[in-house]
Amino acid sequence: MVEGKVAIVTGAAMGLGREFSLELAKGGAKIVIADREEEKGLEFERELKDSGNDALYVNVNVLKEESVALMIERVLEHYGRIEILVNSAGVTQGKPMEEISVEDWDLVLNVNLRGPYLCTKYVLPVMKKQRFGRIINISSIAAMMGGGFVGTSHYAASKAGIVGFTIATAKEGAAYGITANAIAPGPCRTRMSSSWLADHEEELARTIPVSKVGEPEDIANAVLFFASERSDFITGQTLAVDGGLTTIGKVV
Protein backbone atom coordinates (compact mmCIF):
# COMPACT_ATOMS: atom_id res chain seq x y z
CA MET A 1 0.00 0.00 0.00
CA VAL A 2 2.89 2.39 0.72
CA GLU A 3 5.74 0.34 -0.73
CA GLY A 4 8.97 2.33 -1.06
CA LYS A 5 7.47 5.63 0.11
CA VAL A 6 9.36 7.81 2.59
CA ALA A 7 7.29 8.53 5.69
CA ILE A 8 8.21 11.04 8.38
CA VAL A 9 6.47 10.24 11.67
CA THR A 10 6.86 12.79 14.46
CA GLY A 11 6.85 11.50 18.00
CA ALA A 12 7.73 8.10 16.57
CA ALA A 13 10.01 6.83 19.32
CA MET A 14 7.12 5.79 21.55
CA GLY A 15 3.35 5.68 21.96
CA LEU A 16 1.02 6.04 19.00
CA GLY A 17 3.78 7.41 16.78
CA ARG A 18 5.66 4.17 17.22
CA GLU A 19 2.54 2.17 16.31
CA PHE A 20 2.01 4.29 13.20
CA SER A 21 5.61 3.69 12.16
CA LEU A 22 5.30 -0.07 12.61
CA GLU A 23 2.12 -0.19 10.53
CA LEU A 24 3.63 1.92 7.73
CA ALA A 25 6.78 -0.24 7.80
CA LYS A 26 4.62 -3.36 7.38
CA GLY A 27 3.22 -1.68 4.27
CA GLY A 28 6.74 -1.24 2.89
CA ALA A 29 7.40 2.41 3.76
CA LYS A 30 10.82 3.81 4.64
CA ILE A 31 10.40 5.24 8.13
CA VAL A 32 11.87 8.49 9.41
CA ILE A 33 11.68 8.40 13.21
CA ALA A 34 11.43 12.11 14.06
CA ASP A 35 11.68 12.54 17.82
CA ARG A 36 13.51 14.40 20.60
CA GLU A 37 14.12 11.17 22.54
CA GLU A 38 17.44 10.18 20.99
CA GLU A 39 18.07 6.99 22.95
CA LYS A 40 14.59 5.62 22.28
CA GLY A 41 14.69 6.84 18.68
CA LEU A 42 17.98 5.10 17.89
CA GLU A 43 16.77 1.95 19.63
CA PHE A 44 13.62 1.94 17.49
CA GLU A 45 15.69 2.56 14.37
CA ARG A 46 17.78 -0.54 15.17
CA GLU A 47 14.62 -2.55 15.85
CA LEU A 48 13.12 -1.62 12.48
CA LYS A 49 16.36 -2.32 10.62
CA ASP A 50 16.80 -5.67 12.39
CA SER A 51 13.32 -6.58 11.12
CA GLY A 52 14.38 -5.84 7.54
CA ASN A 53 12.88 -2.36 7.28
CA ASP A 54 14.47 0.85 6.00
CA ALA A 55 14.59 3.39 8.83
CA LEU A 56 16.33 6.62 9.79
CA TYR A 57 16.28 8.36 13.16
CA VAL A 58 16.42 12.16 13.11
CA ASN A 59 16.55 14.18 16.32
CA VAL A 60 14.06 17.05 16.11
CA ASN A 61 12.30 19.52 18.36
CA VAL A 62 9.05 20.26 16.54
CA LEU A 63 8.66 23.53 18.45
CA LYS A 64 11.82 25.02 16.92
CA GLU A 65 11.70 26.13 13.29
CA GLU A 66 15.42 25.66 12.68
CA SER A 67 15.25 22.11 14.06
CA VAL A 68 12.36 21.20 11.75
CA ALA A 69 14.13 22.76 8.75
CA LEU A 70 17.28 20.74 9.49
CA MET A 71 15.21 17.55 9.83
CA ILE A 72 13.71 18.01 6.36
CA GLU A 73 17.16 18.77 4.97
CA ARG A 74 18.58 15.60 6.55
CA VAL A 75 15.76 13.44 5.18
CA LEU A 76 16.21 14.85 1.67
CA GLU A 77 19.96 14.24 1.85
CA HIS A 78 19.35 10.63 2.85
CA TYR A 79 16.31 9.68 0.74
CA GLY A 80 15.88 12.48 -1.80
CA ARG A 81 12.12 12.70 -1.35
CA ILE A 82 9.28 12.70 1.20
CA GLU A 83 5.89 11.23 0.33
CA ILE A 84 4.20 10.94 3.73
CA LEU A 85 4.11 13.13 6.84
CA VAL A 86 2.38 11.95 10.00
CA ASN A 87 2.12 14.72 12.60
CA SER A 88 1.67 12.59 15.70
CA ALA A 89 3.83 14.28 18.36
CA GLY A 90 1.48 15.49 21.07
CA VAL A 91 0.97 16.26 24.74
CA THR A 92 -1.99 16.51 27.10
CA GLN A 93 -2.72 17.67 30.64
CA GLY A 94 -5.67 17.31 32.96
CA LYS A 95 -6.37 20.52 34.86
CA PRO A 96 -9.49 22.59 35.56
CA MET A 97 -9.44 25.78 33.49
CA GLU A 98 -8.80 28.06 36.46
CA GLU A 99 -5.66 26.05 37.28
CA ILE A 100 -4.22 26.13 33.74
CA SER A 101 -1.33 28.57 33.67
CA VAL A 102 -0.33 30.52 30.58
CA GLU A 103 2.73 28.26 30.45
CA ASP A 104 0.51 25.15 30.50
CA TRP A 105 -1.67 26.60 27.75
CA ASP A 106 1.31 27.53 25.59
CA LEU A 107 2.96 24.12 26.01
CA VAL A 108 -0.11 22.17 24.89
CA LEU A 109 -1.01 24.55 22.04
CA ASN A 110 2.57 24.74 20.82
CA VAL A 111 3.30 21.01 20.78
CA ASN A 112 -0.10 20.03 19.38
CA LEU A 113 -0.55 22.87 16.88
CA ARG A 114 2.70 24.71 16.21
CA GLY A 115 4.53 21.41 15.72
CA PRO A 116 2.26 20.19 12.89
CA TYR A 117 2.31 23.69 11.34
CA LEU A 118 6.12 23.82 11.23
CA CYS A 119 6.51 20.28 9.90
CA THR A 120 3.87 20.89 7.24
CA LYS A 121 5.37 24.27 6.32
CA TYR A 122 8.71 22.68 5.50
CA VAL A 123 7.46 19.48 3.87
CA LEU A 124 4.84 21.15 1.65
CA PRO A 125 7.33 22.66 -0.86
CA VAL A 126 8.96 19.24 -1.23
CA MET A 127 5.62 17.56 -1.90
CA LYS A 128 4.55 20.33 -4.29
CA LYS A 129 7.73 19.82 -6.31
CA GLN A 130 7.05 16.06 -6.39
CA ARG A 131 3.37 16.75 -7.16
CA PHE A 132 2.49 14.10 -4.61
CA GLY A 133 2.10 13.93 -0.86
CA ARG A 134 0.09 12.52 2.01
CA ILE A 135 -0.22 14.56 5.20
CA ILE A 136 -1.91 12.94 8.18
CA ASN A 137 -2.60 14.94 11.33
CA ILE A 138 -3.64 13.48 14.66
CA SER A 139 -6.55 15.34 16.22
CA SER A 140 -8.89 13.91 18.88
CA ILE A 141 -12.58 13.53 19.55
CA ALA A 142 -11.91 16.22 22.16
CA ALA A 143 -12.05 18.61 19.19
CA MET A 144 -15.67 17.60 18.59
CA MET A 145 -16.78 17.19 22.19
CA GLY A 146 -15.00 20.09 23.88
CA GLY A 147 -12.70 17.71 25.69
CA GLY A 148 -13.66 14.21 26.69
CA PHE A 149 -13.01 14.89 30.36
CA VAL A 150 -13.22 17.90 32.66
CA GLY A 151 -9.89 19.71 32.67
CA THR A 152 -8.80 19.39 29.04
CA SER A 153 -9.82 22.77 27.61
CA HIS A 154 -6.35 23.57 26.24
CA TYR A 155 -6.04 20.08 24.74
CA ALA A 156 -9.49 20.36 23.13
CA ALA A 157 -8.61 23.78 21.70
CA SER A 158 -5.36 22.49 20.21
CA LYS A 159 -7.02 19.47 18.61
CA ALA A 160 -9.89 21.58 17.22
CA GLY A 161 -7.22 23.77 15.67
CA ILE A 162 -5.83 20.69 13.92
CA VAL A 163 -9.19 20.11 12.23
CA GLY A 164 -9.20 23.61 10.71
CA PHE A 165 -5.51 23.44 9.87
CA THR A 166 -6.08 20.15 8.03
CA ILE A 167 -8.82 21.66 5.86
CA ALA A 168 -6.62 24.67 5.02
CA THR A 169 -3.69 22.38 4.15
CA ALA A 170 -5.93 20.24 1.95
CA LYS A 171 -6.98 23.32 -0.02
CA GLU A 172 -3.38 24.46 -0.52
CA GLY A 173 -2.14 21.05 -1.58
CA ALA A 174 -4.98 19.76 -3.76
CA ALA A 175 -3.69 21.16 -7.06
CA TYR A 176 -0.33 19.47 -6.47
CA GLY A 177 -1.53 15.93 -5.79
CA ILE A 178 -1.25 16.41 -2.03
CA THR A 179 -3.96 15.26 0.35
CA ALA A 180 -4.29 16.24 4.00
CA ASN A 181 -6.54 14.42 6.43
CA ALA A 182 -6.86 14.13 10.19
CA ILE A 183 -7.67 11.26 12.52
CA ALA A 184 -9.57 11.88 15.75
CA PRO A 185 -8.96 8.98 18.12
CA GLY A 186 -11.42 8.24 20.87
CA PRO A 187 -10.49 6.56 24.16
CA CYS A 188 -7.51 4.41 23.28
CA ARG A 189 -4.92 2.41 25.16
CA THR A 190 -1.81 4.58 24.87
CA ARG A 191 1.19 5.56 26.96
CA MET A 192 -0.54 8.82 27.95
CA SER A 193 -3.83 7.12 28.91
CA SER A 194 -2.55 3.91 30.53
CA SER A 195 -2.48 5.13 34.14
CA TRP A 196 -5.99 6.62 33.93
CA LEU A 197 -7.40 3.57 32.16
CA ALA A 198 -6.07 1.28 34.86
CA ASP A 199 -8.78 2.62 37.19
CA HIS A 200 -11.53 3.61 34.74
CA GLU A 201 -11.48 1.29 31.71
CA GLU A 202 -14.53 -0.78 32.64
CA GLU A 203 -16.58 2.31 33.45
CA LEU A 204 -15.46 4.05 30.26
CA ALA A 205 -16.16 1.02 28.04
CA ARG A 206 -19.80 1.08 29.14
CA THR A 207 -20.19 4.55 27.59
CA ILE A 208 -18.81 3.50 24.18
CA PRO A 209 -21.29 1.95 21.71
CA VAL A 210 -18.91 -0.90 20.82
CA SER A 211 -18.32 -1.51 24.56
CA LYS A 212 -14.53 -1.33 24.54
CA VAL A 213 -11.69 1.17 24.35
CA GLY A 214 -9.61 1.37 21.22
CA GLU A 215 -6.23 -0.23 20.62
CA PRO A 216 -3.27 1.57 19.01
CA GLU A 217 -3.67 -0.68 15.97
CA ASP A 218 -7.14 0.77 15.34
CA ILE A 219 -5.65 4.23 14.89
CA ALA A 220 -2.64 2.93 12.97
CA ASN A 221 -4.92 1.24 10.42
CA ALA A 222 -6.52 4.61 9.67
CA VAL A 223 -3.09 6.21 9.26
CA LEU A 224 -2.10 3.52 6.76
CA PHE A 225 -5.33 4.07 4.82
CA PHE A 226 -4.80 7.83 4.52
CA ALA A 227 -1.15 7.28 3.55
CA SER A 228 -2.08 4.87 0.76
CA GLU A 229 -3.47 5.23 -2.75
CA ARG A 230 -6.81 3.97 -1.46
CA SER A 231 -7.51 7.46 -0.09
CA ASP A 232 -6.64 9.35 -3.30
CA PHE A 233 -10.09 11.00 -3.54
CA ILE A 234 -10.30 11.98 0.14
CA THR A 235 -8.83 15.21 1.49
CA GLY A 236 -9.61 17.80 4.16
CA GLN A 237 -11.49 15.25 6.26
CA THR A 238 -11.34 14.29 9.94
CA LEU A 239 -12.08 10.64 10.69
CA ALA A 240 -13.25 9.78 14.20
CA VAL A 241 -11.87 6.39 15.26
CA ASP A 242 -13.81 6.17 18.49
CA GLY A 243 -16.04 3.11 18.65
CA GLY A 244 -19.04 5.34 17.91
CA LEU A 245 -18.59 7.59 20.94
CA THR A 246 -19.17 10.83 19.03
CA THR A 247 -22.52 9.52 17.79
CA ILE A 248 -23.90 9.77 21.32
CA GLY A 249 -21.84 12.69 22.62
CA LYS A 250 -21.23 11.05 25.95
CA VAL A 251 -18.15 10.21 27.96
CA VAL A 252 -17.29 9.54 31.61
Kind and range of the H or E element at 10?
Answer: strand 6-10
Measure the CA–CA gap between 188 and 206, rounded to whole angstroms. Answer: 14
Out of 57, 117, 122, 155, pick the active-site residue.
155
- What's the CA gap between 4 and 27, in Å, rounded? 9
The whole-angstrom separation of Cα 233 and Cα 168 is 16
Distance CA(209)–CA(53), nearest Å, equals 37
| CA atoms of 234 and 113, how far apart (whole Å) | 22
Residue 122 annotated among the catalytic residues of the structure: no
Q: In what order do the strands lie in the sheet with 178-185?
A: 55-59, 30-35, 6-10, 84-87, 133-138, 178-185, 238-241
Provide the annotated active-site residues: 155
